[in-house]
Amino acid sequence: MGAQWKTKVKLDASNARGKIFSKLAKDLIIAAKGGADPSSNSRLRMSIEAAKRQSLPRDTIERCIKKGAGLLDGTVSYDTVVYEGYGPHRVPVIVECLTDNKNRTATNVRIMFRKYQLGNSGSVSWDFKHLGLIEATPGPDADAETAAIEAGAQDFEVGDEGSTRFLTEPADLDAVTKALATQGWTVTSAVLGWKPKNPVALDEAARTEVETWLAEVDSDDDVQNLYVGLE
């Protein structure tokens, strides 16, 4: 969940954890709209797994599922809204929001981009690929290339902290996630997202400026994911 970029900017630990829990809860509610049974709702299954990895309490998970599936009174309805634009130094950004008030969210996003450029749908996403993004850590003697081929992933990228990102067609996300698990990989994240085709390279000072702004954007309660065209 959250921002899909690496940043040196850190939030207070308790504050950050609260925001993560809030984002996970919203994602569960949205996913449960497709049914409360994770065995027949792959998106819900992945949302539950993500929530468990972040230690979201079990009763909270169950309550969110019931809310989303309409099994509780006073059900909260969230909508997915996507914004595109350019941040500092013309870095392209896709902002995915989950909101119960589109007008509030639209106002907040316009304020975030007031010094930069908020575009129309398609103004930035044309320079991204919509993919399944799977983050996983290997078991003993695991080989990323072999795992990608056998699991049916399109490609893979080895990270600098022991993890590997596997890229899939959107429709193959669930199947590849399961296949990697059977090969002994520990999946830490499996989401549909956006990968930049032509990421922008910046010097350290400019990158810090962008990352500081991204952290401010991500701190908004309605912002669920950020995808950034930044190396």
- Bridge partners of residue 92, in order along the sequence: 86
What is the CATH classification number for the domain harbouring 64?
Answer: 1.10.10.200
Stated pTM of the model: 0.82
Instruction: Let me know whether 101 and 149 are in one domain.
Output: no
Instruction: Let me know whether 121 and 88 are in one domain.
Output: yes
What is the CATH classification number for the domain harbouring 101?
Answer: 3.30.70.980
Instruction: Let me know whether 117 and 137 are in one domain.
Output: no
Instruction: Let me know whether 152 and 53 are in one domain.
Output: no
pLDDT, tens digit only, all 231 positions of the chain: 444 554 444 445 555 677 788 888 888 888 888 889 988 888 888 889 888 888 889 999 999 999 888 888 766 778 889 999 999 999 999 999 989 899 999 999 999 999 999 999 999 999 999 999 998 988 777 899 999 999 999 999 987 677 899 999 999 998 999 999 899 898 888 888 999 999 999 999 999 999 999 999 998 989 989 999 998
Calpha distance 165→133 (Å, rounded)? 7
Kind of pairing, strands 117-119 and 79-86?
antiparallel
Q: Which of these three, 20, 46, 68, is where a domain ends?
A: 68
DSSP state of 85: E
Calpha distance 47→98 (Å, rounded)? 14
Instruction: Let me know whether 101 and 201 are in one domain.
Output: yes
CA R_g for the chain: 18
Number of domains in the chain: 3
